[in-house]
Amino acid sequence: MIHADQLSKEFGRFQAVKNASFQIEKGEIVGFLGPNGAGKTTTLRMLTGYLPPTSGTATIAGFDIVKNPLEARKHLGYLPEHVPLYDDQRVTEYLKFRARLKGISSRQIWPAVSKVVEQCGLDPVRRKMIRTLSKGYRQRVGLADALLGEPDLLILDEPTNGLDPNQIRQIRELIKGLAANHTIILSTHILSEVEMICNKVIIIDQGTIKAADTPSNLTANLRAAGKITLEFRGDLALITRKLENLEHVKKVIHEGTDADGWHTLTVRAEAGTDTREKAARLLAEQGCPLRHIYRHTPTLEEVFVEMTRKD
């Protein structure tokens, strides 16, 4: 669906995007992540034709965004971070106007508008002036606009920005429902959304693509993936030393000791390893009571922090 090859964008001496290359297959839901100013929105604007790349190129459904921009745009719907709506139009008036701009034939305009109104749950406000709508409904109108023409690809830039928790849940469910028939790129700061919705993640930082993989692969390869925590009673120095000598263990950290003498240790081991059994056996051999042991489950947030931290 999308093939980006060495895509770059410069604003004077500032290089916002640097040789970004990635692929997105048909039917994928991709989380596009990065800190503020990382180049996310610039990359999306190049893909949608709002900004021309300085160098490199990309294709959408086989059409080059530079050589065949109009054909490429026919295959995508775009919801920008700040949805540009005409406040003095009613919802259906606005959507019919947008349908005409997208080249939908006169006979098909009303069926097309009716379909996206239903898809986006806009029926209760279809006759209302846009200026009277809540932020949640304004986002829905923007999404309905993006869906007009039944594009293969949806690019959603911060679709839940500024919404309350109930509105976020509603938009999330709506996006999930659209995934059956559309390839979706979702740019967001809410990493829990990406974990729940997306089957692929692209991380960009300082204009450079840092990772592009499934959430499970990214978390499995994270250095925190081998971390375990345990609580025990006994000789702290001895157990710490013996744990440090276990295979795959990189570091043992004493997190504290409570009033009853229970020590808490964090054991950092190589990614993809599980040292719980060896640690439990060691404690048993030393006659140390073990109260608690668990393997840390890495999150996408930890992947994001590790990929984008500056130290």
| Beta-bridge mates of residue 229 | 266, 294
CATH label of the domain that carries residue 19:
3.40.50.300
Domains in the chain: how many in total?
A: 2
205 & 178 share domain: yes
Alpha-carbon span 157 to 185, nearest angstrom: 8
90 & 238 share domain: no
Of 194, 220, 246, the residue at which a domain comes to its end is 220
What pLDDT does 92 receive? 95
Q: Tabulate helix, strand, coil % of the chain (nearest 5).
A: 40, 30, 35
Of 290, 299, 238, 245, nearest to 267 (Cα)? 245
DSSP-based three-state secondary structure for 147: helix
42 & 174 share domain: yes
What pLDDT does 170 receive? 82
What pLDDT does 10 receive? 92
Which residue shows structure tokens 């990635």?
22
Checking DSSP bridges between strand 290-295 and strand 55-60, what pairing results, if any? unpaired
φ, ψ dihedrals at 186, nearest 5°: -115, 110
CATH label of the domain that carries residue 262:
3.30.70.1340
pLDDT digits (tens), the chain, 311 positions: 899 899 999 998 899 999 999 999 888 899 998 888 888 889 988 998 888 999 999 999 888 888 888 888 888 999 888 888 999 999 999 999 999 998 899 999 999 999 999 988 899 999 999 999 988 899 889 989 999 988 989 998 888 877 788 878 888 888 888 877 889 999 887 787 788 888 899 988 888 998 888 887 887 766 566 789 999 999 999 999 999 999 889 899 999 999 999 999 999 888 778 889 999 999 999 999 999 998 887 778 777 877 777 65
CA angle 288, 292, 298 (to 5 degrees): 130
Q: What is the pTM of this model?
A: 0.75
Beta carbons of 201 and 193 less than 8 angstroms apart: no
233's tokens? 């009673």
32 & 153 share domain: yes
Alpha-carbon span 45 to 47, nearest angstrom: 5
Distances (CA, A) of 76 to 22, 182, 272, 302: 17, 10, 39, 32
Question: Does some domain include residue 115?
Answer: yes
Domain that holds residue 291: 228-295
Of 165, 192, 220, the residue at which a domain comes to its end is 220
Maximum Cα–Cα distance across the chain? 82
Beta carbons of 31 and 198 less than 8 angstroms apart: yes
Beta carbons of 206 and 39 less than 8 angstroms apart: yes
Of 220, 245, 264, the residue at which a domain comes to its end is 220
196's tokens? 């729940």
63 & 138 share domain: yes
293's tokens? 């042991």
DSSP secondary structure letter of residue 189: S
